[in-house]
């Protein structure tokens, strides 16, 4: 019959301490996340592995800049959940009969 090897007291204390740190860290982390999200609902935190190259749409070349721009900027038009166009920054729009000239009327207060 094989004998079970007993775990030393030092290992037991170490494992217990590690488990306590993980549990306490998780509780503190969750409470900080909860308090931050309820404090301000108009904040977007983006964690990127590298710095953005630019915030200018005409100069963007990296995926991270495009990801942030997609989350914080709005175009003239947007889309409904079914894919149909809806107003974004434009309150209304029209086009010429030949489809070559489009006119967008912007919402008030835009700069």
Mean pLDDT on 26-42? 63
| Mean pLDDT of all residues in 54-65 | 86
- Of the listed ranges 2-6, 17-21, 82-86, the one predicted with least confidence: 2-6
In this prediction, residue 110 carries a pLDDT of: 85
Give the pLDDT of residue 54: 85
Please name every residue paired with 104 in a beta bridge, in sequence order, or none if there are none: 93
In this structure, what DSSP letter does residue 82 have?
A: T
Residue 31 has a pLDDT of 63
R_g of the chain computed on alpha carbons:
27
Phi and psi, residue 27, nearest 5°: -65, -45
Q: What tokens does 18 get?
A: 């590690």
**Residue carrying the six token digits 């904040």:** 43
DSSP states along 18-66: HHHHHHHHHHHHHHHHHHHHHH-TT------SS--S-S-GGG--SHHHH
Tell me, yes or no, if the pTM score tops 0.75: no
């Amino acid at each position: 019959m094989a004998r079970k090897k007993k775990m030393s007291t030092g290992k037991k204390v170490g494992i217990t301490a590690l488990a306590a740190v993980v549990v306490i860290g998780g509780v503190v982390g969750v409470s900080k996340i909860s308090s931050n999200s309820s404090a301000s609902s108009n904040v977007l935190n983006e964690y990127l592995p590298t710095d953005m190259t630019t915030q200018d749409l005409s100069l963007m070349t990296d995926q991270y800049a495009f990801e942030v721009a997609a989350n914080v900027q709005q175009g003239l038009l947007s889309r409904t959940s079914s894919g149909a166009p809806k107003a974004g920054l434009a309150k209304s729009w029209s086009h010429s009969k030949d489809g070559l000239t489009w006119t967008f009327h912007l919402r008030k207060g835009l700069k």
